[in-house]
């Protein structure tokens, strides 16, 4: 048993990024499938990029241009588009309008326009209404399901002839020196021992002139590429973990709701959200920075506790949870952006590049807009027959001149203000920043890697789910649609000799129940993984597994 | 048209229990319209001796067709004969069973008659002049009520649903000749292999016995297999915990990531009842749970539970089942 | 995925909002069997035929991605419950196709009837072996194994024939990336389905009632006699 006050630094037990798995320096297989452009990840960024590129090419060909047939592929690890996508979400339609200028807002796959919003400060279970902070005002925005948005975008992409390959995770980038020349997919049908079983399919190579990394939060190939090419950032990227549920409710919700404070510890960053999806569906969740300070902070459990507050029970009692899921969000903002998001044969877009604005909880329109900029850059490069780094660097120029950069710059220190000083001091700093549009305090606040933040070993607070309003991780995992094949090899790289307190940390860190402390040892059930990537941030490293694994979100 | 036809399934010179169920179902329907039950019994010479059993369960007439060509199941000859008798007999309905053989035979007969059929039927009744049946779909998650407008209404009943009821009738035997030459069938069953590898599929078995981690070791599954053996028509399944540990093959796993089953009887031995497992079996008609933890979630879905040590309960249950099944 | 079904407002069909169509396991084993036969023979053509609304194209594309050579989509607004109606349309399409083997899955997990294959065989006057778990074909003849309750049958049949496929015959291959791309260029003919007559009709669909609370019979081996009695007299499963 550890003494009270013992500190654990997760980074000490975390293996390094297994970059040798993610970067292959060898020629592509002779049977490689030839593509012109590959988008790694079929989320809003990748699909927006594919759509914009296909449109530009078509328009050019129709006008007599000589590009001809440009083969565009989107590789998506989930069995179906949208099944690994999760977000609140309250969406700013600006990128949809840029992508589909001929359509109206009413044509877009949104559920409900935002009318009312309420923010509460939770003092224990009691909800105290506070004025909506300027950063969180959502007039003109729409509540949506990201999974639905992605399916809709996918339909548009297929109509334009984009090749969408679902169930094909990218295992590695294939590089020739500093140049990305293609992607290799994961094999299928390996047994638990790692050897081919029945139904084995070998990996496939895909060659591409440009590869767009649209992997989403904590993308493995993106991390490996940046490490290989020594692309740094002013601050390291930091993450929050969001756990979300969708409920069928008897009482309709008339506003978007955000809360701060309880049940998060005072020194943890985050809050909760509850949004109406339709008259009888509600999306709710909790987001907590992974730099939390105690080993037993458990984001899934915090969400379960949150639901017991009258503010939430009012809507959930008598209802039924229909879906559950979790995902990390990059929170480092402006100073954590990679110093360049282009390279030889490669571009980085969306969450993978860190284009998320924490104070307003927005990422979808930045993702899509960055995909659009990538497409425009690639189109020009293809037209000129020049896909050199110089040509692709135009992408950074487009992003830097846009609202993506401006918005992130305006709020550049908001999140980081919390890493130092907790809720109250941070709250004051954040308010000042908003009022001054970011000019005060102006200097960059330094931040640490989440893995380097120490956490105190504290006793666990027992949590007993009731199975009706609150659920165990196992029961919740079921509602993610996770039906991963049980005997696939483990995709997680665990450090050696994990002490019991770290096993406890992992058990609480993972929302899906992958890690359990059994006595003094760590038990790992990799098939429970829903690819949220929290483990990759402060625990065992995540690697891609065979396609068709993981959750199958319908409305997340 | 008030008479009802019933196809009596036999194997190796014996009636199968499902034959009595078929006659019972036909009897029930015939009684509601004041008609007779005519059962067709085909087999090798000597099968006629079983006609009496059919009469005991409600057959007014037993049509017996004995021929060497019927020693094994002869799909084309059996279908031709059944269709011929049904067509000529003016029956209101023709009842088969959704056994392995019945699944093959009933649609052939219906097609020859130019009528459709409903299989895996769990209830039959006559509403005016329309036959109404119930049929589970989507692995038991939906139940359909279906009307059959034509005559004869061809129905194939779910095994173990129409419990055989003694209802002794005269059982007048009529010898009927096969249609054409049974040895000229194109499809020929060359061999019947008893047991030994003939595993009842989890999706078809009327009874499923599943073992969980509480069995502690792979060898202890022998106990589960013996209980399955006592039933005679049971398949053995397992939970994910058990197949993860390699005690049973992955194809035996019942649950969200394994097999979905909906048997008449599901016995969960030493299984706690995680929701992932329940997803694989919760539409079973009757669920029995044996677990030593009275708070195990499995008891929430079980119709009958025994709180106790599986190692004590199961052998006693096995002996009791063997006793109860004598004569099936 | 544990699908929760909803019944449509008129009570006679499944509310398909939010549901995805996919090839069922039995059909995928049938497609796999056809591909393996073609590979073994070194020649031949695998044609995939499916009846249904536009959503059926997903399933057809999957089969083409696995390696089938061409496809025919018999378009119908809805898939009828009555297998007789489906069989009529399929038989009309298959009649002059000159096929050596016509393979079906044993049954559709949706309608759960398992009758289309044998009815098509009768309509075409072809030999039929259903629910096969092993298959060998040579010199215009075939041998198959069928699983029975506690036994197995070995069956011989001539070609051409209709077969329906059960679990155990093979493991269906995953479509490869190349296969998916090639599928887009393969011929896919769309025709209206000429449905046969409907002989049976769905009056209503219902979700099964919530399970009534069960009871603990007793403790230990002493409870066995009472359990047997309950299974015999109440549940009537013994």
The 3-state DSSP class for residue A80 equals: coil
* Residue among A483, A484, A486 minimizing CB distance to B243: A486
Give the confidence band of A189 by pLDDT, cuts at 50, 70, 90. confident
**Interface contact B160, partner A, CB < 8 A:** no
**Interface contact B243, partner A, CB < 8 A:** yes
Give the model confidence (pLDDT) of B81-113 as tens digits: 999 999 999 999 999 999 889 999 999 999 999
C1, pLDDT greater than 60: no
What CATH number is attached to the domain comprising B316?
3.40.50.1220
pLDDT at position B276 is 84
Domain ranges of chain A: 33-105+147-187+201-236+334-410, 414-444
Domain assignment present for residue B202? The answer is no
Token pair belonging to A386: 């020049």
Our count of domains for chain B comes to 2
Give the model confidence (pLDDT) of A35-78 as tens digits: 999 999 999 999 999 999 999 999 999 999 999 999 999 999 99
pLDDT at position B196 is 47
* Residue among B232, B256, B294 minimizing CB distance to C2: B256
Task: Give the Cβ contact number of residue B267 at 10 Å.
Answer: 31
The 3-state DSSP class for residue B304 equals: strand
Q: From A437, A457, A409, select the one nearest A8 (Cα to Cα).
A: A457
DSSP-assigned states of every residue in A457-522? --PPPP----SSSS--HHHHHHTTT----TTSPP-EEPPSS--HHHHHHHHHH-TTS-EEEETTEE
* Residue among A477, A478, A486 minimizing CB distance to B250: A486
A4, pLDDT greater than 70: no
C200, pLDDT greater than 70: yes
Domain assignment present for residue B189? The answer is no
What is the complex's ipTM, to 2 decimals?
0.91
A238, pLDDT greater than 90: yes
Give the confidence band of B198 by pLDDT, cuts at 50, 70, 90. very low
Count of all residues that appear for chain C in the document? 238
- Residue bearing the bigger pLDDT, A423 or A6: A6
C174, pLDDT greater than 90: no
A23, pLDDT greater than 80: yes
Per-residue CA distances from A169 to A40, A67, A74 (Å): 8, 29, 10
| Terminal alpha carbon distance of chain A | 40
Domain ranges of chain C: 25-192
Instruction: Say how far apart CA A223 and CA C233 lie, in whole Å.
Output: 65
Same domain, B39 and B144: yes
The 3-state DSSP class for residue A418 equals: helix
Q: Is the dihedral of CA A26, A29, A34, A37 positive or negative?
A: negative
Task: Give the Cβ contact number of residue C154 at 10 Å.
Answer: 16
* Residue among A475, A483, A486 minimizing CB distance to B275: A475
Task: Give the Cβ contact number of residue A236 at 10 Å.
Answer: 16
Quick check: A410 and A437 in contact, CB under 8 A? yes
Q: Tokens 């896919």 map to which residue?
A: C188
Interface test with A, best of C25, C28, C174, C181 (most A CBs within 10 A): C174
What CATH number is attached to the domain comprising B116?
3.40.50.620
Tell me if B303 and C211 make a contact (CB, 8 A cut-off). Answer: yes
Which range among B92-101, B298-307, C148-157 shows the weakest confidence by mean pLDDT?
C148-157
Per-residue CA distances from B193 to B12, B204, B236, C149 (Å): 11, 18, 20, 11
**Interface contact B282, partner A, CB < 8 A:** no
Cis geometry, peptide bond prior to residue A441 (ω within 30 degrees of 0): yes
Mean pLDDT computed over B288-309 = 93
Mean pLDDT across chain A, nearest whole number?
A: 92
Give the model confidence (pLDDT) of B132-148 as tens digits: 999 998 877 899 999 99
C94, pLDDT greater than 70: yes
pLDDT at position B260 is 78
Give the model confidence (pLDDT) of A334-363 as tens digits: 999 999 999 999 999 999 999 999 888 899
Quick check: A328 and A537 in contact, CB under 8 A? yes
* Residue among B186, B191, B195 minimizing CB distance to C154: B191
Tell me if A478 and B240 make a contact (CB, 8 A cut-off). Answer: no
Tell me if C224 and B115 make a contact (CB, 8 A cut-off). Answer: no
Task: Give the Cβ contact number of residue B22 at 10 Å.
Answer: 32
Q: A with B: how many residue pairs have Cβ under 8 Å apart?
A: 24
**Interface contact C35, partner A, CB < 8 A:** no
Nearest CA in chain B to A192: B244
Which range among A134-138, B223-227, B271-275 shows the weakest confidence by mean pLDDT?
A134-138
CATH 3.40.50.410 fits C25-192, yes or no: no
Quick check: A556 and A323 in contact, CB under 8 A? yes
Same domain, B128 and B237: no
Identity of the highest mean pLDDT range in A150-164, A461-475, C4-18: A150-164
Same domain, B180 and B216: no
Q: In Å, how far is C230's CA from the nearest CA of chain A?
A: 30
pLDDT at position B163 is 83
Mean pLDDT computed over A533-539 = 98
Nearest CA in chain A to C32: A199
Class of domain A33-105+147-187+201-236+334-410: alpha beta
Q: In Å, how far is C171's CA from the nearest CA of chain A?
A: 6
Q: In Å, how far is A124's CA from the nearest CA of chain C?
A: 36
Which domain, by its residues, includes B39?
4-184
Domain assignment present for residue B154? The answer is yes
- Residue bearing the bigger pLDDT, B277 or A371: A371
Domain assignment present for residue B201? The answer is no
Alpha helices of B192-274 — where are they, by DSSP H?
Answer: 221-231, 240-244
Q: Find how far residue A239's CA is from the centre of its chain.
A: 9
């Amino acid at each position: 048993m550890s003494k009270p006050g013992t500190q654990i630094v997760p980074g000490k037990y975390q293996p390094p990024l297994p970059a040798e798995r993610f970067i292959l320096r060898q020629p592509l297989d002779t049977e490689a499938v030839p593509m012109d452009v590959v988008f790694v990840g079929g989320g809003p960024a990748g699909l927006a990029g594919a759509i914009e590129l296909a449109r530009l090419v078509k328009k050019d060909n129709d006008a007599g241009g000589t590009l001809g047939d440009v083969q565009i592929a989107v590789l998506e690890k989930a069995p179906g588009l949208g099944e690994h996508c999760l977000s609140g979400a309250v969406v700013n339609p600006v990128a949809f309008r840029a992508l589909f200028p001929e359509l109206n807002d009413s044509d877009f796959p949104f559920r409900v326009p935002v009318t009312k919003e309420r923010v509460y400060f939770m003092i224990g279970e009691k909800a105290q209404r506070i004025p909506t902070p300027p950063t969180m005002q959502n007039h003109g925005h729409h509540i949506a399901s990201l999974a639905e948005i992605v399916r809709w975008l996918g339909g548009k992409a297929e109509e334009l002839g984009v090749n969408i390959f679902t169930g094909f995770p990218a295992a590695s980038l294939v590089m020739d020196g500093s140049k990305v020349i293609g992607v290799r997919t994961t094999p299928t049908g390996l047994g638990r021992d790692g050897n081919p079983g029945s139904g084995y399919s070998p990996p496939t190579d895909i060659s591409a002139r440009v590869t767009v990394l649209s992997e989403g939060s904590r993308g493995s190939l993106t991390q490996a590429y940046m490490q290989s090419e020594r692309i740094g950032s002013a601050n390291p990227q930091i993450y929050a973990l969001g756990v979300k549920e969708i409920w069928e409710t008897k009482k309709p919700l008339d506003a978007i709701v955000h809360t701060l404070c309880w049940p998060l510890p005072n020194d943890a960053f985050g809050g909760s959200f509850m949004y109406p999806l339709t008259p009888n569906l509600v999306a709710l969740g909790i987001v907590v920075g992974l730099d939390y300070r105690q080993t037993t902070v458990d984001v899934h459990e915090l969400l379960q506790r949150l639901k017991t507050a009258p503010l939430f029970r009012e809507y959930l009692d008598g209802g039924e949870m229909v879906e559950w899921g979790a995902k990390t969000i990059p929170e480092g903002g402006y100073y954590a952006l990679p110093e360049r998001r282009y390279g030889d044969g490669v571009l980085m877009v969306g969450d993978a590049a860190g284009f998320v604005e924490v104070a307003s909880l927005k990422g979808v329109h930045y993702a899509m807009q960055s995909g659009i900029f990538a497409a425009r850059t690639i189109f020009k490069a293809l037209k000129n027959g020049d896909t050199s780094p110089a040509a692709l660097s135009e992408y950074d120029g487009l992003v830097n001149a846009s609202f993506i950069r401006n918005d992130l710059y305006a709020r550049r220190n908001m999140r980081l203000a919390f890493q130092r000083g907790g809720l109250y001091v941070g709250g004051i700093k954040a308010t000042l920043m908003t009022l001054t549009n970011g000019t005060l305090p102006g200097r960059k606040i330094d931040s640490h890697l989440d893995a380097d933040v120490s956490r105190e070993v504290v006793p666990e607070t027992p949590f007993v789910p009731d199975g009706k309003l609150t659920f165990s991780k196992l029961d919740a995992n079921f509602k993610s649609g996770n039906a991963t094949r049980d005997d696939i090899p483990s995709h997680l790289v665990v450090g050696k000799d994990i002490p019991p307190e770290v096993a406890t940390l992992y058990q609480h860190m993972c929302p899906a129940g992958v890690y359990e402390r059994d006595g003094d040892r760590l038990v790992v059930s990799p098939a429970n993984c829903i690819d949220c990537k929290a483990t990759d941030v402060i625990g065992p490293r995540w690697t891609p597994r065979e396609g068709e694994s993981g959750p199958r979100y319908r409305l997340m | 048209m008030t008479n009802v036809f019933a196809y009596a399934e036999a194997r190796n010179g014996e009636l199968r229990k499902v034959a009595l169920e078929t006659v019972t179902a036909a009897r029930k329907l015939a009684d509601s319209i004041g008609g007779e039950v005519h059962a067709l019994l085909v087999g090798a010479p000597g099968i006629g001796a079983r006609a009496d059993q059919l009469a005991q369960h409600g057959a007014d007439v037993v049509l017996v067709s004995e021929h060497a060509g019927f020693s094994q199941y002869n799909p084309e000859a059996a279908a031709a004969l059944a269709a011929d008798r049904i067509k000529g007999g003016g029956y209101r309905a023709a009842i088969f069973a959704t056994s392995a053989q019945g699944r093959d035979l009933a649609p052939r007969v219906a097609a020859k008659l130019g009528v459709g059929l409903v299989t895996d039927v769990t209830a039959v009744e006559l509403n005016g002049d329309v036959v109404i049946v119930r049929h589970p779909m989507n692995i038991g998650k939906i139940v359909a009520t279906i009307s059959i407008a034509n005559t004869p209404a061809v129905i194939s009943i779910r095994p173990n649903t129409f419990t055989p009821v003694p209802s002794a009738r005269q059982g007048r035997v009529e010898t009927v000749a096969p249609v054409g030459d049974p040895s000229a069938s194109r499809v020929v069953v060359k061999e019947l292999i008893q047991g030994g590898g003939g595993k009842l599929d989890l999706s078809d078995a009327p009874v499923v016995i599943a073992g969980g981690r509480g069995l502690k070791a792979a060898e202890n599954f022998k106990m589960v297999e013996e209980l399955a053996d006592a039933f005679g028509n049971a398949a053995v399944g397992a939970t994910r915990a058990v197949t993860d540990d390699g005690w049973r093959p992955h194809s035996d796993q019942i649950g969200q990531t394994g097999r979905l089953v909906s048997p008449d009887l599901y016995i969960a031995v030493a299984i706690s009842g995680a929701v992932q497992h329940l997803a694989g079996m919760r539409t079973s008609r009757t669920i029995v749970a044996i677990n030593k933890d009275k708070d195990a979630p499995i008891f929430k879905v079980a119709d009958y539970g025994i709180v106790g040590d599986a190692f004590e309960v199961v052998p006693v249950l096995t002996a009791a089942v063997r006793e109860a099944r004598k004569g099936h | 995925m544990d699908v929760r079904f909803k019944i449509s407002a008129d009570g006679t069909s499944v509310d398909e909002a939010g549901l995805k169509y996919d090839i069922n396991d039995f059909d995928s084993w049938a497609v796999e069997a056809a591909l393996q036969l073609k590979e073994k023979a070194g020649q031949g053509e695998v044609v995939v035929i499916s009846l249904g609304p536009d959503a059926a194209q997903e399933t057809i594309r999957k089969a083409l991605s696995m390696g089938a050579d061409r496809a025919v989509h018999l378009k119908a607004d809805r898939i009828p419950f009555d297998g007789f109606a489906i069989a009529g349309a399929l038989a009309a399409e298959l009649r002059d196709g000159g096929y050596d083997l016509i393979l079906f899955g044993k049954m559709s997990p949706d309608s759960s009837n398992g009758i289309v294959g044998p009815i098509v065989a009768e309509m075409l006057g072809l030999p039929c072996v259903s629910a096969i778990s092993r298959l060998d074909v040579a010199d215009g003849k075939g041998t198959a194994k069928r699983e029975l309750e506690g036994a197995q049958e070995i069956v011989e049949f001539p070609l051409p024939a209709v077969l329906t496929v059960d679990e155990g015959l093979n493991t269906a291959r995953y479509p490869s990336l190349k296969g998916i791309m090639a599928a887009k260029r393969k011929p896919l003919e769309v025709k209206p389905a000429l449905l046969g007559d409907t002989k049976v009709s769905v009056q209503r669909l219902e979700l099964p009632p919530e399970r009534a609370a069960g009871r603990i019979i007793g403790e230990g081996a002493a409870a066995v006699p009472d359990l047997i009695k309950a299974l015999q007299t109440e549940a009537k499963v013994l």
